[in-house]
Amino acid sequence: MRHSSKLFAALLASFALVTSALANEVQVAVAANFTAPIQAIAADFEKDTGHKLVAAYGATGQFYTQIKNGAPFEVFLAADDSTPAKLESEGDSVVGSRFTYATGALVLWSAQDGYVDAKGDVLKQNQFKHLAIANPKAAPYGLAATQVMDKLKLSTALAPKLVEGQSITQALQFVSTGNAELGFVALSQVYKDGKITSGSAWIVPEQLHDPIKQDAVILNKGKDNPAATALVEYLRGPKAAAVIKSYGYKL
């Protein structure tokens, strides 16, 4: 009996070693707009694969600079398709690993109920003091916001009222704390399961800005990490797709 107990313990220990060897961490640079979805996906990903996702959140342009300077990221979930394509052309990512994991939507949002009307006419009325956007040079959603104002011929009138966040998360904070009455943010930040979660909003029509195609890519530092490959495959799967859609993205 004692011998069989020792054998069982040894088998358990060897199984733990194998499991530990098979499970890996993957370091992921995540565009700020995708914070909530990836946190939900990460829990399922770890449960289903054993791999752990370690995420950093920020503006796509800032991540590009960090990656070029040797940051230890293995997978990049960008807020556009041009930055991952650029990294691929410059030899910083695994060729063939790039794909569009989501297409985002822009929304004009206020933390105040009834402040933003269903057509976004509040912009033309121009009765507010501050309008928050993300830095258009670093954040694709900020660039989309400037395109909307250009299309509506409001850029000159609204320029003195703009407050810029370094990322879309900071733009959201300006509005949610009342430092700006309204702002252009990612729909995913204020939307869940078919409805705006708080405040008031105008979902900006797609024709007012370039498509916000968000691409994922395996970076060179992740080419030999099975967790990096597993994550990219997982993002293409039905479980992740359901989460992504629930935050207002299109696939």
Mean pLDDT for back-to-back runs of 10 residues, the chain (251 residues): 48 42 84 97 97 97 98 98 98 97 98 97 97 97 98 98 97 98 98 96 97 98 97 97 97 91
Cβ proximity of 83 and 77 under 8 Å: no
**Interhelix angle 226-235/238-246, nearest 10 degrees:** 60
3-state secondary structure string across 129-196: CCEEEECCCCCHHHHHHHHHHHHCCCHHHHHHHEEEECCHHHHHHHHHCCCCCEEEEEHHHCEECCEE
Q: Per-residue DSSP letters for 3-71?
A: HHHHHHHHHHHHHHHHHHHH--EEEEEEEGGGHHHHHHHHHHHHHHHS-EEEEEEE-HHHHHHHHHTT-
The tokens of 32 are what? 């700020």
Q: Provide the pLDDT for residue 163.
A: 98
Write the single-letter amino acid at 91.
G
pTM score: 0.87
pLDDT of residue 21: 41
With b meaning 16 or more CB within 10 Å and e meaning fewer, what string describes 180-196? bbbbbbbbbbbbeeeeb
State whether residue 197 is helix, strand or coil.
Answer: coil
Q: Are strands 195-196 and 162-165 parallel, antiparallel or unpaired?
A: unpaired
Residue 18: per-residue pLDDT: 39
The CA distance from 191 to 202, in Å, is 12
Residue 205 vs residues 80, 170, 189: alpha-carbon distances, Å: 18, 23, 17
pLDDT of residue 10: 45
Residue closest to 190 by CA, chosen among 119, 104, 121: 104
**According to the model, what pLDDT value does residue 22 have?**
54
- All domains of the chain in start order, with CATH: 23-103+212-246 (3.40.190.10), 105-208 (3.40.190.10)
Half-sphere exposure of 12 (CA within 13 A, CB side): 6
In one-letter notation, the amino acid at residue 150 is D
Q: Indicate the SS3 state at residue 1.
A: coil
CB atoms near residue 137 (< 10 Å): 12
